[in-house]
């Protein structure tokens, strides 16, 4: 016969388990994820104490020694093994070493598309101890010059953008057949990609693939659900992060719409806060004592991450001015310092985090960041434009925000739509070209003499509400056309592609 305390102990354990499930349903998932993060952190600290910095290249070289004949890249049907990539990157490093073009510590700018040599060149320069700055190959003209001058590279390496034929663009119709053909198990996405896939005609083979994991960001809740229903048990790991940032989140539980989850342990090792933000002045709100204030759960707040020894912010290559602009000082107390992500995040009552919006002078469209000042700088190059105020507006069933420009014409000048179209498509990447134009008689400004965007964003592009002349960039006609109520309805219904 069992001792009398055994049933009582068993009942206690069951009660604790039920209590944990009720009050802390994500406790074990959070703990497992945290342990993984801590293990990585401890490993990095161990390397640091040994005077070592372990990079992606170090990991690659070890794997190349361990599994030289395993496929590393599959491109246009051709297999590049770990050994192939290692040898090719060595050859590239030897060329630049032989000519003395660079030395350890130099910055090299890389302007290349999706091709194997992107990896070869990156690893080759990394083996020489160079810092490789990746440039967006969609950027052109003044924006490209700005990127190059900002990182101050010793040399610029470009892809060969001649006789080489490449499959540059994503194909929604061929995506799953390619995944099946190459036995793909993990895919990377931006939100638009998932929407394009869901917009394709349904096929009996939609679930006939080996993809088990999708990693990326920017997918809408409705698209997320449809993606899972249609394409099977693919775990979607939405994440939040930036190359230069010192904070990141990963949705390890699969909660639809969330970019991740926080808890006491996470904030202990990666301290961050969500603070109140002034949408009119485009800056954090400070109280009468000069300190920032935290938002309540369920409210959007500016995400800031504490800068310390454990979570450093290394800054940007080139001018220190760019680095200093991303730092907030004297936030909650004297002497503290935080990295300003420029993103609004919402934390719900279960501590799940959701991306809300970009702030300031940038917005996202087609999975890319659009700098409003760069777009306006291009537009005011036109001789009939006095002033241009660029911002992003929401479009139903589309991720991010579409570019819109409010224009002030010079006195006695008229809007030349043909010249406007030719100018923006020449000097701007496709995702940065304003889809909507609004011609105003005067430009509203804020109390700090900045262009007023908040009200313009709120008004959007509805001709039934806005009395100013509105125009739409119709890609099928390769021109800006008058934005009528009929055109507006076609955009909302999806008959006009953006």
Q: Are residues 301 and 203 in the same domain?
A: yes
Domain presence at residue 39: no
Kindly state whether residues 206 and 307 are assigned to the same domain: yes
Question: Is 97 inside any structural domain?
Answer: yes
CB-CB contact of 123 with 116 (8 Å) = no
The answer to whether position 47 is within a domain reads no
- Position 457 pLDDT exceeds 90: no
Radius of gyration from C-alpha coordinates of the chain: 26
DSSP state of 275: E
pLDDT of residue 163: 31
- DSSP code at position 70: S
Last residue of a domain, one of 358, 384, 411: 358
pLDDT of residue 322: 75
Look up tokens 């570019």; give the residue: 403
* Alpha-carbon span 462 to 453, nearest angstrom: 16
Helix (H, G, I), strand (E, B) or coil at 368: strand
Per-residue pLDDT at 166 exceeds 80: no
Q: What is the mean pLDDT of the chain?
A: 85
Instruction: Domain of residue 113: give its range.
Output: 56-158
Q: Are residues 322 and 191 in the same domain?
A: yes
188 phi, psi to nearest 5 deg: -115, 140
The reported pLDDT for the residue numbered 2 is 57
Q: Tens digits of per-residue pLDDT, 390-421? A: 999 999 888 889 999 999 999 889 999 999 99
79 lies in the same domain as 218: no
Q: Which tokens belong to 261?
A: 């989850």
Residue 445, pLDDT > 90, answer: no
Question: How many Cβ atoms from other residues are within 10 Å of residue 168's Cβ?
Answer: 10
Domain final position from 329, 358, 387: 358
User: According to the model, what pLDDT value does residue 4 have?
Assistant: 66
Residue in the block written with tokens 């400070």: 286
Same domain for 481 and 366? yes
Strand 235-240, strand 301-306: pairing: unpaired
| DSSP-derived 3-state class of residue 293 | coil
Tell me what pLDDT residue 419 has: 95
User: Does residue 7 sit within a domain?
Assistant: no
CATH number of the CATH domain containing 372: 3.30.300.30
Q: What CATH number has the domain bearing residue 81?
A: 3.40.50.980
Q: Same domain, yes or no, for 432 and 327?
A: no
Q: Grade residue 287 by pLDDT with cuts at 50, 70 and 90.
A: very high
Residue 450 has pLDDT above 70, yes or no: no
pLDDT at 330: 92
Are residue 149 and residue 181 in the same domain, yes or no?
A: no
| pLDDT of 475 over the 80 cut | yes
226, part of any domain: yes
Find out whether 315 and 244 touch, Cβ atoms under 8 Å. Answer: yes
Do 50 and 62 form a contact (C-beta atoms < 8 A)?
Answer: no
Would you state the pLDDT for residue 162? 33
Domain boundary among 358, 392, 420: 358
Alpha carbon distance 190, 192 (integer Å) = 6
The pLDDT score that the predictor gives to residue 18 is: 77
Q: Which of 42-56, 196-210, 285-299, 303-317 comes out lowest in average pLDDT?
A: 42-56
> Residues 126-130: what's their mean pLDDT?
89
Q: What dihedral angle (degrees, nearest 10) is formed by the CA atoms of 95, 97, 101, 103?
A: 150
Beta-ladder partners of 240? 249
CATH number, position 324: 3.40.50.12780
How many residues belong to the chain?
498
pLDDT at residue 341 greater than cutoff 60: yes
pLDDT at 291: 94
> Is 488 part of a structural domain of the chain?
yes
Do 92 and 72 share a structural domain?
A: yes
pLDDT of residue 451: 65
The verdict on residue 85 lying in a domain is yes
CA–CA gap between residue 80 and residue 102 (Å, rounded): 27
pLDDT tens, residue by residue, 219-246: 888 889 999 999 988 999 998 887 778 8
Within this chain, do residues 353 and 371 fall inside the same structural domain, yes or no?
no
217 and 318 both lie in a single domain: yes
> Residue 100 phi/psi, 5° resolution?
65, 30
Domain shared by 187 and 87, yes or no:
no
Does pTM surpass 0.75?
A: no
Per-residue pLDDT at 50: 77
Domain contains 368? yes
Number of domains in the chain: 3
Name the DSSP letter for residue 294. Answer: B
Q: Which of 39-43, 106-110, 326-330 has the lowest mean pLDDT?
A: 39-43
Give the bridge partners for 390, in sequence order: 405
Neighbours of 221 (CB within 10 A): 11
pLDDT tens readout for residues 174-210: 888 888 887 888 888 887 888 889 989 988 888 999 8
Residues 241 and 279 in one domain: yes
Of 131-145, 279-293, 349-363, 415-429, the range with the lowest mean pLDDT is 131-145
Q: What is the DSSP string of 392-430?
A: EE--TT-SS-EEEEEEEEPTT----HHHHHHHHHHHS-G
């Amino acid at each position: 016969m069992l001792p009398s305390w055994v049933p009582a102990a068993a009942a206690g354990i069951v009660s604790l388990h039920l209590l944990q499930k009720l009050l802390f349903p994500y406790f074990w998932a959070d703990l497992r994820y945290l342990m993984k993060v801590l293990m990585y952190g401890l490993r990095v600290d161990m390397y640091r104490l040994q005077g070592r910095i372990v990079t992606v290249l170090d990991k690659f070289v070890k794997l190349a020694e361990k599994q030289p004949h395993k496929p590393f890249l599959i491109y246009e049907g051709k297999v590049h093994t770990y050994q192939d990539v290692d040898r090719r990157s060595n050859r590239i490093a030897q060329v630049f070493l032989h000519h003395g073009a660079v030395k350890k510590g130099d910055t090299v700018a890389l302007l290349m598309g999706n091709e194997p040599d992107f990896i070869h060149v990156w690893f080759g320069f990394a083996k020489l101890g160079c810092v490789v700055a990746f440039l967006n190959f969609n950027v052109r003209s003044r924006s490209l010059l700005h990127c190059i001058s900002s990182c101050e590279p010793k040399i610029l390496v470009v892809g060969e953008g001649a006789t080489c034929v490449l499959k540059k663009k994503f194909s929604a119709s061929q995506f799953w057949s390619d995944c099946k053909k190459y036995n793909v198990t993990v895919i990377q996405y931006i939100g638009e990609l998932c929407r394009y896939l869901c917009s394709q005609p349904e096929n009996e083979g939609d679930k006939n693939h080996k993809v088990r994991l999708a990693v990326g960001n920017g997918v809408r809740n409705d698209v997320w659900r449809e993606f899972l229903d249609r394409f099977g048990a693919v775990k979607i790991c939405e994440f939040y992060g930036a190359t230069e940032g010192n904070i990141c989140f990963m949705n390890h539980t699969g909660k639809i719409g969330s970019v991740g989850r926080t808890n006491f342990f996470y904030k202990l090792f990666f301290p961050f806060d969500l603070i109140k933000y002034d949408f009119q002045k485009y800056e954090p709100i400070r109280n009468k004592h000069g300190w920032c204030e935290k938002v309540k759960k369920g409210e959007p707040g500016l995400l800031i991450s504490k800068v310390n020894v454990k979570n450093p912010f290394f800054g940007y290559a080139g001018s220190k001015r760019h680095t200093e602009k991303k730092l907030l000082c004297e936030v909650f107390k004297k002497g503290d310092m935080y990295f300003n992500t420029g993103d609004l995040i919402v934390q719900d009552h279960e501590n799940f985090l959701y991306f809300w919006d970009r702030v300031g002078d940038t917005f996202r469209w087609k999975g890319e960041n659009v700098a409003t000042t760069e777009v306006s700088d291009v537009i005011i190059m036109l001789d009939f434009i006095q002033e241009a105020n660029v911002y992003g507006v929401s479009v139903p069933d589309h991720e991010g925000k579409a570019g819109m420009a409010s224009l002030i014409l010079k006195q006695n000048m008229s809007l030349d739509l043909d010249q406007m179209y030719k100018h923006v498509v020449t000097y701007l990447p496709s995702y940065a070209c304003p889809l909507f134009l609004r011609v105003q008689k005067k430009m509203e400004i804020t109390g700090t003499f900045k262009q007023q965007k908040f009200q313009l964003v709120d008004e959007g592009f509805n001709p039934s509400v806005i009395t100013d002349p509105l125009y739409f960039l119709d890609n099928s006609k390769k021109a800006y056309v008058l934005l009528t109520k009929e055109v507006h309805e076609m955009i909302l219904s999806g008959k006009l592609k953006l």
